[in-house]
Each structure stands twice: as C-alpha cells, then as structure tokens.
Structure 1
Amino acid sequence: MSSNTLAACVDKIIEFAPRWQPTSEKSNDEDWNDEEEEEEEDGDKEDDKEKRANDESTIRTYHVLPPLYSATGKPLNTATSTSVTIDLSRIKLKDLYHSNNDRIGSLSRLLCLGLFELRRKHQLNQTISGIYLTKQEMRAFKSKEIFSIRKVFITPSTIQYEGPHFEEACAVIRYFSKFQDCFLRVSFRDEDYRKLKDINNSMDILFKHIKSLITDGLNICDRKYKFLAFSTSQLREHSCWMFHQQHTNNISCETIREWMGDFQNIHPVAKMAARLGQSFSTTIKGKELSKESYIEIDDVTSPIDRKVLYTDGIGIIASWFADELSKQMNFDSTPSAFQIRFAGYKGMVCVSLEDKIANDSKIRVAFRPSMKKFDSDNCSIDIVRSSDFSLSYLNRQIILLLSSRHISDSVFHHFQDEMLEKLMSINTNAERAIETLWKFNGNTGGNGTHKMMIEYLSRFQLNTEPFVQQLLFHFQAFQLKQLRTKARILIENGCVLLGVTDESRTLKREQVFIQIHRSDINETKIIQGPVIVTRNPCLHPGDIRRYEAVDNLQLHKLKNVIVFPMDGPRSMTAELAGGDLDGDTFWISWDSRLIFTKNYTAFCYSDQARQANESTSNTSKQSYTIADVCRFFVEYMKADNLGIIATWHLALADLYGVEYEECMRLAAMHSIAVDFVKTGNRPPSLTKDLQPNTYPHFMEKKDKPYHVSTSILGQLYDE
C-alpha cells in the first residue's frame, strides 16, 4: 500500500478503535452483523462498475519480513520472509479481532481493519501498478499536479520497460498534460542499472548504438518516440525525455520546443542543451505575471572587477506577492526566498526588505540580467523550492577538509559516538524513539513512513508492536549504513540553507547573517559568532571557509537563508566551491568544536570559468540543431569522469591529505567536470600519475588493491 493509504488506515483506526473493543461476545456479533448489513446497503447505492473494480482490488499478496516479536511478546523465526494474502472481500471483523495467530501483530491486525473500513466506505480505488490508492490520494495527486510517466531503461543487452509511475510535474508536461501518455523517460544504464563506468575505446560500438537511438528515435510497439530534451540533472544521470507524435494532433517535439522558447544563437551547444532542459525542472505552478507586474533591474558588480557579480542569479520579490504565492501553495508561513522558473529566467528571488520594489506598489518581481537565459512567452512564475531549515550532516569530503584545518580526530569520534548513542536508544521507549526520529528529520518529520511512526508512537505510546519494531529497525539500519559508507554524521549545531544576497548592503566582507526558524520545536534564533560554511561537493582545502555571523536589524525579515554581503573584490559564494545564488545550498555549522582559526587560500573558480567561456566562445557562431544536442549527449556520456575524479581524490587525500599536489589537480579537474554540462568544456583526461595505487579499506573496493587506512575516515569506519 502507499504511504497515503497507510495514513488513511491510521485515521480509520483512531476513529473506530473504541468500536473494535467489544464488551461481550454477543454484542460483538450484533455489531459485526449490523456493519455487514450497512455495507450491503451502501453497496447498492454505488455504481456497479466501481464496485467490481473495488472487489478486484481487494485481493493482494504482500511479501513482508516476519515480525520480530509476536503480539504476545514471543520471539519469532526471522530467517525467512512471509507471504501474507489478504482478501478484504472475505474479511470478518470479529475474526480479525479475535485472531490468535501470533504472526499477526496488533497493529497489523488494526491495519487490516482499517483497510476493511476504507473498502466498506468505497474509498479504495482500483490498484495502479500494484498500489492501493484512496480517493483522497487521487485528489491529492490532482492538487499537487502529479502525473503518470512511462520509463525505459536501456542497457547494453536489454530494454526494460517500467511504469507508468507518478512524478511531480514540470512546466512542459503541465502545459501538454493531455498528451502525458506520449512522454517517455529514457535512461541508459549498465547491466546492474547503474551509470556506465570504466568507459574505454572498446565501447565505441555501444555508444554508436546509443547515438542511433537518440538521433533516430525509439520504436515501442506501434509508437515512435523521438528525442525531446534533457535537464542538467538528467544529463548527469544519462537520461533524457522522448515524445511520441500522434497522427490525430499536431503536437510534435518541434512544437513543444517552440512553446518552450527561442533557443537560437545560444552558444556553445552545451549551453543550448541546458537552456532546453530548463523547462523540465520539477516545479509547482505559481501565478501568471503580466508585463506590467515585473521589471528587470541591474546586477550589482564589484567595484574592483566589473565582471564579478554579487547578485549572480538572484532577484527580488515583493513581500505581499510572496504571501500570495505561499497561500496558494498552502505553506504554513511565507518563505524568505523562492527558487523559480519564469519566461526564460531562472534562479532565486528573495523577499524585498522594503514595502515596495522600485517605489512601485504594482511591481511583484524584479529580475536581473544574470537570471535571463532565453526568450519565452511562458509567463507563469513556477516554484522549484522555497527556503527552509534542513539538518546538516558531515560527509567524507567535509571531514577531510576540516581535518586539514587541524580539527582533532577526537572531535569526529565524539560526534559519531553521539549519533550511535541516539540510534541505539531508538528501541528503549516510545519517547526516545520519537525524539530520535525528529532529530534525524528536522522540520518535515521525514517521509510518510517516518511521520506514521511518529504519529503512532505519540498516540499509542508503544514501540514493542512487531510492525513498528520492523520500521524502527529498518530506519536504524539505514542510518548505520549511511554512517559506515559515507561517514554521514548528524551535526545538531548546524543546518543547510539557500543562499541570498544582502540588498541592504550593510554586511561587511567575511560577515554573514543567519536567522533560523524551526517549526518542529517552534524556535527562532539568530546565529552570532564564528561559523564555518561550505558547499557540496567540496574537494579543495579552500572550499570551506570561516565567517563571522552577525546580528543585523535590517535583515531580521529573512529567515532560513544565509545572507552574503555585497562587499570585497569577489563574491564570497564563488569562493565556496564555485557557488552562486541561483539556488545553491550551503552547509553551515556554528559548533565550536568544528571552528578552525585560519582559512586556506580560496581557489579562483571564477578565473577557471572565465577561461572556459573564452575557449568555447571561439567556436563557430552557427545555429545549433537538435542533432548537435543529441551528439553532445553521447559525447558527455563518453567523457563523464566526474565520479572517477572524486574517487581518486578521496583515495589520495586519505593517504597524503587534501593539500597534496595531485589532490589539488584533481580538485581543479573536478570543478571543470561539474560545469561540463553547462560549458561543454571537457575536463582534462585522467593520467596514470593521478591514479592511486591502492584504495583505503573503507571504500570497500573489493576488486582493487587496498590499504588499511589510519586516517580519521579509516578510524571512523573501524569504530
């Protein structure tokens, strides 16, 4: 069942629990008979077709792990899995309630009762892709603009068809929703369904085949799917969109691209491809803007170098209009910033510090030239995401950088011990379990399963029920796996926030403003004192910086964002692993144990980007075609070595430190590889002198020579 169906079952349990506790056998039987008669009366009023669909959808087989303990507390055999068949049409409530089967825990029995009640009220829809869907859930799908999309995975030897799957909409699918069954997500994978790796010249035949599929299209039954576009994230995952043109309408790939915007005279081809993919970002539809309701204002540049932008990718939104958007999207409060897509603009808009924009109360949004990517007539301001508080976790890259800044190994051991203690206490009692679930999920409370666990434990105060025990066990196992394989350690005195710029121009160089609001504990506070800030991924020792967090009365309006100053020879965001303000998130911590004394000289990412732009600007100014975009897609797949660079850097940095010469070279190459999707500038080829001879044991490279690591990462892995 889906998480929403599970939530509906929990609501039914809470609603009907008193009726499911009979006082006597006789009265109990009378209650069951009354409900069965009521079911028959309700059924006569329903459409026969819907009733047949519901009846067919009630017989399901679930493959579940056996409960750790029975309802009576007896331990059960956990060596094998159990197949449980539930026929809701034949379930008798009294049989379920009085069942003495130890393999069905009390909550599991209540869930069956909840499913029965949903079916009796005709609130279960026919199954889609083997998932129970409630009517409330279907309405939620419509309100959230969730669409069903077919997917295809192409490997060197097979083609795997999947779906349709529910996904959040993008601007293109939202506009062409009548033809959503004509869209197809295509992913190119290895036989294990991971990205292709160890690419070499012997794979030319494979890439020739991929190129033919991208260029000529994909035939599935009586349909011909042709290449449409891909987003930046899809390109990194070797995926793209295809579309089937039906003979009954005039909608084609060319028609869709014309609706998206004008992409002529965009150079190089990588940038053109990125602009095509801009309309495929997952968004929530906002409001239509008339030409009189928005303006374009100048970017703010450094007085020392006019090519340095303090406002790269960020604009301003009127506070009253931000309130309207938040109300439309059912937010509990108005965020301080939104990541948006609008008429060829992309980036962030931050709530105005003043009552009006440009002294005009009619202006809703002010964009900047750095946000304009192409011309488009699509005048709906769509929301990618909004500013919010997120928990911060250490990872291997951040730990190595902090270790290079002379943070003691004992500090990381202490953080890991604290996290392990919290995870181990999850089975102690309900209160500790709830506390741990909240700590590891922040404002949101986590996904549907985590919310259900918190709700159940809060109401029933019992964590020994087998089903909940299973969920808690899997949550614990997942966190431990992340801890072991990624050194993902929770930092309570930290957060991850979207970055914005100081429109008041009152912050000084090396200063930031951070005001966090946590709705889960109803706490708002302004961080003051030294903080460390970085942006993932971070490989260069200068990618992590120490700043001073200050209070600033003019910025109190901004919450759950990190505000950077408009001061200094270059943008502070560019020093943080080459970041900007078009939607980048920044890792922040004010824990005194992680604060180092001196910053390492920052790598000049802006100079590297400028050189890349100059090299690509020398190419021909001819207009590119979709065939050129298809060719670039295959070229990127062949040259994609981002993962290899990061792996080699980690192995060498573990032995010699991040300031090792080869590590510095790999860090520079990594930056070029990250921007390859936008610049088309290939990273330099990896040479033998950069390849590690052995890999640390914590990387678990079973097919490679390894050494036992004695660094902090090796110590944390072995602990």
Structure 2
Amino acid sequence: MNVGLLNLPTTVSDRDVTKELSKVLHSPEFRRIDNGRLFNFKVILNLNERMGVRNNGTGMVQLPTKEIGNKLYSWAKTSPIPIQEKKIRLGRRSELLPGEAWALQRTPFIDPALEDEYEDKCQKLQGQIRVDAVQFGILHYPSYPTSAKKPLGEYSIEWESERTAWLTFDYAYKAIRINLGDEMKEYTCHSVTVNFSNIQGLAVGHDGKPYICFNTFTPSIFEAFGFHRSLTGDEKRDLKKYKRRIGSLHPGHAVVAQYAPTLRLLLYPAPDIIESFVDLCGVAGISSSIVRFMPLSDLRMEASSKRRFFEQTKVYRLRKRITEFKWPVAFQLELLLRNGLLHTEDLDNLIPLVKETCLRCPSKDDILTANLLRRYSGELKSRSPPESPRACFFRIRQHFTFKEKKLSTGYLMCCHITIAPTRMILGGPYHTQSNRIIRRYPGFEDHFIRVEFRDEDGLPYQRDQAVEGILFLDERVGGVLTEGFELAGRRFEFLAYSSSALKEHSVWFINPFKYQHPNTNKIACITADSIRDSIGDFRGNPIMTMPSKWAARLGQAFTSTNPSVTIQMNQWTEVEDLGVEPYLHTDGAGTISESLGNEIWERLCQGRGDHGQNMIKPSAYQIRFLGYKGVVAVDPRLDAHPIRMRLRPSMGKFKDSRATEANIEIASYFNRPMPSYLNRQLVVILEDKRVRREVFQELQDDAEANAKTIDDSLKQFSDILERHSLGNVYRLSYIIRRLSDLGLDIATPGIDTPFLKELRQVGKIHVLQDIKHRARIPVPGSYQLIGVPDEGPAYEKAGYKNVFTLKKHNIYACIQRPGEEPRWFEGPCTVYRNPLTHPGDVQQVIAVKPPENKFCAFAHLRNVMVFPTVGERSFPSMLGGGDLDGDTFVIIPNVDLQPSSVDAPASYPPGKVHQATHEDGTPRECDVNDIIKFVVQYIDSDVLGPLSGRLLRIAGMVKVSSQQHVSHNCSLSR
C-alpha cells in the first residue's frame, strides 16, 4: 500500500524519514518477522527543484501489505510521528502495483544506519596517495644460516615503472587500485588492482622512500582504459565496458610477469604517508593483523636489489638444460619454475642433484625421479624458512620410497595446465579417466595434456560490466589455442574437447609423435589434424558449416569413458525411433541384450576387489559407440536374437564407415539410486504452488541436525558422505563403511586421527554451507534416476500380445540398493529435472507397478525411471527440455511436497546455430580456427551463474504463476 506523507521538513532526506518510520513500523506493536527478517518498506520524497531544497514537504511510503498500511494510518491519528521539529501527517492511501508489493515482500530491510556507515567509509576513502614507482619482483632468501635462526629475506626487483601513478581505495569493489599514467601527456591509463580478499599480508616501511609491499594469494589484475574517451553524461553508459583486461603493463613486464608477481610500491615521501595508508586500510576493513611495519633488519628491500633472476637469457639457458631430461622429470622441473616455487638460481643449483638422482635410481622414463620431484614441490610450500631448497631436496630423497601404482582400466596419469592471464600453472600428473582417442595410442599417453583456461584465482572468468572481456580472451585464450605452446622441450597444439569439459573451460592439447600401427607396422606422424580427420565421415556433411556442432561431434571421441566389450558390425543394428519430431519418445535411447550387459559389467568390475559382487548389476549404461551416444537399457528378449544391441537414429550424431568392429565405451553406469536434494529454484516454484513453508523448514532442520551427528560414529560419517556425495572420487564413504564393518569406531584407540577429525569437520561445514547458501537439502525417500523409455509400444508393433505399457503421465521407478529388496514407487509423485527455469518444469505423475499377468518390457529394470512412449510429446521434453541420452530426473513421493497445481510445460525450441560463411555470406566448411573462435565466444558468454542468480531475483519479485513466467522475464532481463 502507498501512504502519503505530509508536513515533512524540507531539509530531510528519504533516509532520515526511513529512520523515524522504522522506529514505529519495527516496534513491538507492528513488528512482524518474515523468514527471520524485518519487513521492508520504501520512502519516496517529492523534490522541490524550484526552491533548490531537498523536498517539497511531501512524499509517500510504500508498505508491503494493506494491513500494515491501515494500521499505520490508525496509529498516526493518536500518536503522530515526530521528525526534527515537526510531526508527520499521513495523506491519501492507494494500492501498490503487484510487482512493487512482491519486491517489498521478497527483499530485506536495510538499516539506514548501515547505508550511512557505507557512505561515510566511501567519503573517507576518496583521497589518493602519490606513487613514485611501481615494482614487481619476488621475495627470496639470498643465503641460509647453518643454525635454526630465520634467514634474512630480500626483495628482488625484476621490473620497475616510474610513470606517474596514484593509489586509491575502491570500497564499492573492495579493492586497492594503482593507476599508472599522466592524463596530461598520455592517452592510456594502465591499472593494477588488488582485491582486499586477495591480500595475505602488507609490509610497510621506509627504505629511502616509504614503501608498501603486497603479499597476495594470486597475482594482481591488470587493466587499461583511455584517459580521454568520449563521454555521454550518462554514468551507466559511460562506465560500461570502458576498460579492457591486459596480461602485463609493458613488454618488459610481460617477460617477468609469469615469475615475479609480488607488487611493491615506492610512495612519494610526504609526511606520515605510511601512517595515512595504514589508517585507510583500517577504514576499508583490512585487518590490522595483516599489515606489518617492516624494520630493515628483518627484510632488505633496497631499490638497488635487482638480481635479475628472470631476464630472458637466464630463463632461456635454464630451459635448455631442462630439455635434457626425459619428459616426466622435465615437466616437474618446469613446474618448480612456473609455479613460483624456485627462482632460476635455485633451480640451476638443483639440476645437478636431479641428474645424480636419475643415475642413482634408474627407472623407466626416470619416473622415480619425477615422483620424487613431485613430492619435493609439495614440501617446498610447507618447509621451514631456515631450510634451504637444496637441504629440503636431500631430506626428501633420503626418506622417499616409490611404489609404482597399477592404473585402473580406462585411466591414465595426465599432466594438467592452467592458463591464467599472467601465468601458466602446472599440475600433476593426475589419475584421469581416459577416452577413445588416447586409448588408440598405447604408450604415448604422455603426449596428451589437459589445459584449462581460468582467472588468476583458479575460478572461471567472471563478467564485469566495466570490462570488455572478449578482447583479452581473444588474445590470451585464442592466442594459446591458435599458436599452441612449448613446454619442457615439447611443442603442444590444440586438439579438441568434450562437451562436458568445455563447461569447465577445459580442452585437450597434443604433442605430435610418430606411431607404428601394430597391425600394419606402418609409421605415421600423429598430429591434431590427423586425429580430427580420423573421427567420422564429416566431409561434405552440412554439419561442417557449423563450428559448434562439428566440435561437439568430435568431442564424442574425447568423452571420458571406460572401455568394455568390442562387438562386430553384424551384432548391432539401428531401429526406428518412437514418436514424431521434434519430441521423440526415444530420443537418445536404445537397448542391449542381457548377456551383453553381463559382459560389460564383468569388464568394468575387473579392477575391483569384489568383482562387483557387492553391487547391484546396472540396468542401463550411458555409452559412446562409433558416432552414437546415449543410454542403452538391458532387454533380456534380445538374447534370443543374433543382434546384441539396438540403437536408434536419434542416437547417431555422425557416420563412421571405416570401422568393422568397435568398442562399447561406458561413460557412466547406473547401479544405485542417487540421492536428491531441494534447491533454491525448486523451493521458489513449490512455495508458489502452495507447498507449506513449514515443510521446507522441517526438512532443513532435519538436515542440519543430521549433519551435526557426523561425529557420532563411523557408520554415521559414512552415511553422511554418501548422502551428500562427498569424497566420491576417492571412494571415501566405502572406505569408512568398511572400517565400521570391521567393528571399528571413532572411540576405538588409534582410529580417530587428526586427519579423520579434520575430514569430518570439513564435511560438516560443507553440508551446512550448502544448506545455507544453495538450499541443498536432502529429501528422504526421493531419488535422482536415469531416464529410459517404455519399449512396450515397439513390441506391440512387432506383434506381441497382452503387453503392459505406460499411459500418459504414468511412470515406472524401482530402486534397489546392495543387500536390500527392490522397492517400487506407487501413486502420485512429483518429478522434475534440473536446472529449473520455468514453473512447468515441475510435473505430477502416477507411479505404477506392472501387473504380473501381462508382458512388460521394463519390469526387470532397477534404479531407472521409465517414461511413457505414447502421446504427441515426449514426457522428458516437458521437464526442462530433457531427453533420454543421459539426463537424470528426480522423483519425490512425499505428499507434503506435491504442488496444488501444475503449469503447462514450456517449449524449448532449438536455438539458431552459427554458420561459418564466406565474405559474400554463403556457408563454407569450417576449420579448426572456427572452433577456436567458438571456444573464445563460449567462455566470454558463459554466464550461467549470473543468469541463475538473476532468475531467482526475478522469481522473488514476480509471482511465478502469473502470466509473465519466470523464464520470459529472465530472457527480457539479459
């Protein structure tokens, strides 16, 4: 409700009025707490521009409900609200617009005192500090004492700029900025940004001139913008994309930026300038514990201390020495240099020791020495300051024992590289799942390397409205993809990526090599081009004009898979899809015989100690096979035929006519039901569909209480790990459960180690954070299951009689865990698929159990959700545009979580696909350069996180069941 405000002092601000009204509206008489917060309201004053004062004495207050507005009106009649020397009188009442009311109801009240405090801090931080020199270098120890005394440290200046520079505090962005350049003489300003959260420590002191030395977790951010750019007067437009990200401040800085990230500033020697800086740090909220005054006796930082560790000639000579080693050792030596663990002199002194170790401890490809260096790199980060890198190496070598691990089938040890704006970060080699292409060249796995493109903090690139990001991404990401890179004597070039890897901004690179084919003995040079050309029959295919689709088809061969059973061409066939385009009921789904399923499972379990005896045999597998991808369900009736696998046209993405046999590659298998959770989007939709808030609160309270029982027993610890999918990569839940099965527990002496205590603490915090920030709350009795179609109509068409088939809005789901009996879902259930973007993505179904007196094509299936294959539109497509090529769906039988009504499902038409064209606009076949452009554009436009957050904000302001659906509003807000 709108309530008019009269008799206001003309000098008050809307914040002043808000303070006075809040004393009344948030008093016990009015106080109503929703979701643990005070209700919100908004004050709007009418300006009096002619008299030049703040307001004309009138305004209005917007209140979330009519009830509160009427109560305030009654209150003011008997208890006028004072403000300065006047008393507020209330005027006319009117209805709020629906959107305004919802906005007030869904947004929290912000205390005006907090806003005053914020503005006060911004005001105090407006000043600038003159900077005489900007330096980049490293902190190092020139020598190490023989005693346990801490060595004397030194700052080595590797690059320096004496351009005019100013330091400012940007409190809105919680950052310190150093702008370099004289706007009277230069066109471009270069900026160094250090976020408050990135500051590990600040050393301040005097060394001829006052200085500030930044110890940061990750390198600073570098940007550039024009001093004299054209302005429109519209601040929002003028501050949009006016900056660009850069990798260095100067060509000379670019040479050392990879190795020398530590920033030091020499300040103009004004009186008390250091004290002024420290005071501003306190105002900005930078903890005083990380600001340290440095006497010269503790750390030498003389401006003359230029050791030039990373000048080009030194780095070049060192890299030449590194290439003398075999690849596993050379990679670890490069890691020590590029990750900033050793500078060039330290690494130069280490190389003779590494050569000696290779001779003393010979092994294939010097793998023992490589693993020793990998352990050494970890120890360097945590060694005590008095211990020199050389002494640390001797200590590690003396106690190092190496036992070569046998890799599981379908895995390899893979080196990883992260390309950041200023540096290349090396890691591994890590235990990584293999793919079809790498398995094709046994013995040459180390010629393939995984490359990720990330920001300095290891997170994906984030969009900033003030920064034009595509230019830098094209230069940094596009440059590496196009030109490749050299590492440890090997030249790597871009190869391809899988669709799931692209979501993580990760791709494969290859170092070309010569390979002798075992069958023909022919020697061929294997390059990125030759591998891409060997995948499928693409030439002349229309898909070759679409870079994204061609890359996605190539990516099928790079999906992380386990090899299983090889079958001949006469053992599989293609059968027609059920349904009509574009909503095929069997989109992405096929079948395999039970015997073939058994062989696949046996092959997958070869590396397991129990050979799969303690697991439920899967009823469905997600596969890659030649140019096909999708899910195949086990069908025992195929055992009576020579055909062992039936695939559908919807599964085929490209042809591969060169193969006479092929391996069925397993991307995933489904042998147990996966737990399901609430999420913020689901809560918004269900709450709008009149699901009681108390239901969510009860589930949340139970989840919190359960998380806090993690210390009760090993069994409870294991259950929580499994329920929340924690430590799955390390099979942590299984390990803890096995300890419990042996009769051990937390109270058993020697079991509850500090490491185990820390694991439980981290697990509990992780679960509670997910509940708080993501509404990730387990829903007991509900599960996430892979979707497969009802094959009954296909059997009816083939002549089978008395066939039980699913009707529209009927589903079948049966779950079974190891050692338990099967459990069928029956009756009304809620189903959905993540992510949720539309209220119609949540639907209600009837779960049925097949009768025993009819033939049922799916009665034997476990831990899957079977959908009907009747009607004009496939049911999975109604759930967020899903299909059956690997999508999982959630089933909730809890009646308290069933919506009172459901919306019609949204349509999800395919988007327009970009085509490569000639200059005259006609389509042309694309090449790898077009794929590279697509990758750059994908990273730049990857805004799923911000889009999800915006969707939730819109859902909070607009009732999702209104005519303006959330998805429509979200598309309008881009």
Confirm or deny a common fold (TM above 0.5): yes
Give the stretch that moved more between structures: 429-438 or 218-227.
429-438
1:178 to 436, 439, 443: 443
Secondary structure of 2:449's partner? strand
TM-aligned CA distance change 1:517 to 1:266, over 3 Å: farther
Q: Is the 8 A contact 2:715 2:736 kept in 1?
A: no
Alignment of 1:128-143 (within 5 A): 134=403, 138-139=405-406, 141=407, 143=408
TM-aligned CA distance change 1:598 to 1:214, over 3 Å: same
Matched, 1:262 2:531: no
Q: Is the 8 A contact 2:498 2:558 kept in 1?
A: yes
The Cα shift of 1:523 comes to 3.0
The Cα shift of 1:253 comes to 0.9
TM-aligned CA distance change 1:642 to 1:90, over 3 Å: closer
TM-aligned CA distance change 1:413 to 1:446, over 3 Å: farther
Secondary structure of 1:250's partner? strand
Q: Which residue of 2 aligns with 1:211?
A: 478
1:636 to 938, 956, 963: 938
The Cα shift of 1:288 comes to 1.5
2-side partners of 1:456 and 1:86: how far apart? 37
Any unmatched runs of 5+ in structure 1?
1-46, 66-83, 92-118, 126-133, 670-686, 692-719
2:421 to 137, 141, 156: 156
Secondary structure of 2:565's partner? strand
The number of residues matched between the two structures is: 554
Letter in 2 for 1:552: P
Q: Which residue of 2 aligns with 1:316?
A: 591
Matched, 1:453 2:736: yes
Secondary structure of 1:523's partner? coil
Secondary structure of 1:316's partner? strand
Letter in 2 for 1:645: L
Secondary structure of 1:418's partner? helix
| Cα displacement string for residues 235-255 of structure 1 (whole angstroms, at most 9, x for unaligned residues) | 222222111213785111122
2-side partners of 1:162 and 1:285: how far apart? 26
Q: Which residue of 2 aligns with 1:229?
A: 496
2-side partners of 1:414 and 1:170: how far apart? 45
Secondary structure of 2:617's partner? coil
| Cα displacement string for residues 198-236 of structure 1 (whole angstroms, at most 9, x for unaligned residues) | 156633431331222222222334332211111112222
Q: Which has more radius of gyration?
A: 2
Secondary structure of 1:412's partner? helix
Matched, 1:416 2:683: no
TM-aligned CA distance change 1:63 to 1:415, over 3 Å: farther
Matched, 1:395 2:679: yes
Any unmatched runs of 5+ in structure 2?
1-359, 383-391, 516-523, 606-611, 794-804
The Cα shift of 1:527 comes to 0.6
Q: Which residue of 2 aligns with 1:365?
A: 645
Secondary structure of 2:739's partner? helix
Q: Is the 8 A contact 1:314 1:500 kept in 2?
A: yes
TM-aligned CA distance change 1:266 to 1:280, over 3 Å: farther
The Cα shift of 1:176 comes to 2.1
TM-aligned CA distance change 1:494 to 1:254, over 3 Å: same
Letter in 2 for 1:399: V
Q: Which residue of 2 aligns with 1:245?
A: 512
2-side partners of 1:465 and 1:163: how far apart? 27
| Cα displacement string for residues 460-516 of structure 1 (whole angstroms, at most 9, x for unaligned residues) | 233465443332222212211211221111112111110000001310000000011
Q: Is the 8 A contact 2:495 2:528 kept in 1?
A: yes
1-side partners of 2:645 and 2:845: how far apart? 31
Alignment of 1:90-105 (within 5 A): none
Q: Is the 8 A contact 2:916 2:930 kept in 1?
A: no
2-side partners of 1:179 and 1:59: how far apart? 24
Q: Is the 8 A contact 2:691 2:900 kept in 1?
A: no
1:202 to 447, 452, 468: 468
1:622 to 924, 930, 947: 924
Q: Is the 8 A contact 2:841 2:878 kept in 1?
A: yes
Q: Which residue of 1 aligns with 2:862?
A: 559
The Cα shift of 1:649 comes to 0.6
TM-aligned CA distance change 1:593 to 1:615, over 3 Å: farther
2-side partners of 1:411 and 1:293: how far apart? 52
1-side partners of 2:512 and 2:362: how far apart? 33
Matched, 1:490 2:778: yes
Alignment of 1:63-78 (within 5 A): none
TM-score by length of 2: 0.53
> Which structure's residues are more often helix, by fraction?
1
TM-aligned CA distance change 1:308 to 1:226, over 3 Å: same
The Cα shift of 1:319 comes to 1.3
Q: Which residue of 2 aligns with 1:543?
A: 841
2-side partners of 1:386 and 1:539: how far apart? 28
The Cα shift of 1:430 comes to 4.9
Q: Which residue of 2 aligns with 1:715?
A: none
Letter in 2 for 1:161: L
Q: Is the 8 A contact 1:430 1:457 kept in 2?
A: yes
Q: Is the 8 A contact 2:719 2:733 kept in 1?
A: no
The Cα shift of 1:325 comes to 0.9
2-side partners of 1:430 and 1:228: how far apart? 45
Q: Is the 8 A contact 1:514 1:562 kept in 2?
A: yes
2-side partners of 1:90 and 1:275: how far apart? 50
Give the stretch that moved more between structures: 576-585 or 184-193.
184-193
Give the stretch that moved more between structures: 328-337 or 147-156.
328-337
TM-aligned CA distance change 1:639 to 1:85, over 3 Å: closer
Q: Is the 8 A contact 2:638 2:644 kept in 1?
A: no
Q: Is the 8 A contact 1:199 1:638 kept in 2?
A: no
Q: Which residue of 2 aligns with 1:682?
A: none
TM-aligned CA distance change 1:465 to 1:635, over 3 Å: closer
| Cα displacement string for residues 26-62 of structure 1 (whole angstroms, at most 9, x for unaligned residues) | xxxxxxxxxxxxxxxxxxxxx9868x96997999888
Q: Is the 8 A contact 1:148 1:165 kept in 2?
A: yes
1:276 to 537, 541, 554: 554
Q: Which residue of 2 aligns with 1:4?
A: none
1-side partners of 2:381 and 2:822: how far apart? 42
1:612 to 906, 912, 920: 912
Letter in 2 for 1:516: I
The Cα shift of 1:617 comes to 12
TM-aligned CA distance change 1:241 to 1:297, over 3 Å: same
The Cα shift of 1:163 comes to 2.3
| Cα displacement string for residues 609-647 of structure 1 (whole angstroms, at most 9, x for unaligned residues) | 2x6379999985432211211121122222322222112
Letter in 2 for 1:494: S
Q: Is the 8 A contact 1:300 1:310 kept in 2?
A: yes
2-side partners of 1:418 and 1:516: how far apart? 23
TM-aligned CA distance change 1:307 to 1:417, over 3 Å: closer
The Cα shift of 1:655 comes to 3.2
Give the stretch that moved more between structures: 590-599 or 528-537.
590-599
Letter in 2 for 1:297: V
Q: Is the 8 A contact 2:917 2:924 kept in 1?
A: no
TM-aligned CA distance change 1:202 to 1:572, over 3 Å: same
Alignment of 1:664-675 (within 5 A): 664-665=966-967, 669=971
Identity of aligned residues (%): 28
TM-aligned CA distance change 1:85 to 1:514, over 3 Å: farther
| Cα displacement string for residues 169-200 of structure 1 (whole angstroms, at most 9, x for unaligned residues) | 01111112332222122222122221112156
Structure with bigger RCO (C-alpha 8 Å, 6+ apart): 1
2-side partners of 1:220 and 1:59: how far apart? 21
| Cα displacement string for residues 114-161 of structure 1 (whole angstroms, at most 9, x for unaligned residues) | xxxxx9xxxx63xxxxxxxx55xx22x1x3232122222122222212
TM-aligned CA distance change 1:449 to 1:625, over 3 Å: same
Q: Is the 8 A contact 2:715 2:737 kept in 1?
A: no
Secondary structure of 2:630's partner? strand
